């Protein structure tokens, strides 16, 4: 999966609209949606583990997915249903990562392009830094 994510990221950053590997990522989330629908996976666990990727990938390929679904309403039915359920959880948890901006999607793909197989990955976008610490010069602690 990390190889596909990295490949899609590199292609998207080069301006490729719908890289071939994007289909593999969407198919993966369709399988996750099927497993949730059938009760094999808990939707809260899926939110915790996969929502960061689902929100960004689906936001970026939304128009493509909508066109596929206009042609065949069953296309990505499980993953689209799951996405809506994950958005409700996102709202209940007080977060707002479910509708990333174009800039956030670009930042997402930039980070994904740096992914190396086997490396740890984050599950949420970076929080904006808010520092209440005193500047080093004012601190009483020596470094």
Report residue 59 CA to chain centroid gap.
9
Taking only Cα atoms into account, the Rg of the chain, rounded to an integer number of angstroms, comes to: 18
pTM above 0.75, yes or no: yes
Give the 3-state secondary structure of 40-78: CCCHHHHHHHHHHHHHHHHHHCHHHHHHHHHHCCCCCHH
Provide the pLDDT for residue 1: 81
pLDDT beyond 70 at 90: yes
Q: In Å, how far are 5, 39, 102 from 110, measured between CA atoms?
A: 11, 34, 12
Helix H or strand E encompassing 36: helix 20-37
Reported confidence tier of residue 95, pLDDT bands at 50, 70, 90: confident
Question: For residues 78 and 30, is the Cβ–Cβ distance under 8 A?
Answer: yes
User: Which tokens hold the place of 21?
Assistant: 């590997």
CA proximity to 12, closest of 109, 112, 115, 104: 109
User: Which tokens hold the place of 105?
Assistant: 């999607």
pLDDT digits (tens, 9 = 90+) for 29-80: 999 999 999 999 999 999 999 999 999 999 999 999 999 999 999 999 999 9
């Amino acid at each position: 999966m990390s190889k596909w994510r990295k490949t899609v990221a590199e292609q998207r950053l080069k301006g490729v609209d719908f890289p071939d590997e994007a289909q593999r990522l969407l198919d993966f989330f369709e399988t996750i949606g099927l497993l949730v629908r059938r009760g094999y996976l808990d939707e809260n666990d899926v939110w915790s583990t996969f929502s960061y990727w689902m929100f960004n990938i689906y936001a970026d390929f939304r128009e493509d997915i909508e066109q596929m679904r206009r042609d065949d309403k069953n296309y990505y039915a499980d993953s689209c249903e799951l996405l809506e359920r994950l958005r409700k959880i996102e709202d209940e948890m007080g977060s707002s990562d479910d509708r990333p901006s174009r800039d956030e999607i670009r930042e997402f793909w930039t980070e994904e392009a740096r992914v190396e197989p086997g490396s740890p990955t984050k599950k949420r976008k970076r929080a904006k830094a808010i520092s209440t610490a005193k500047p080093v010069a004012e601190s009483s602690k020596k470094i």
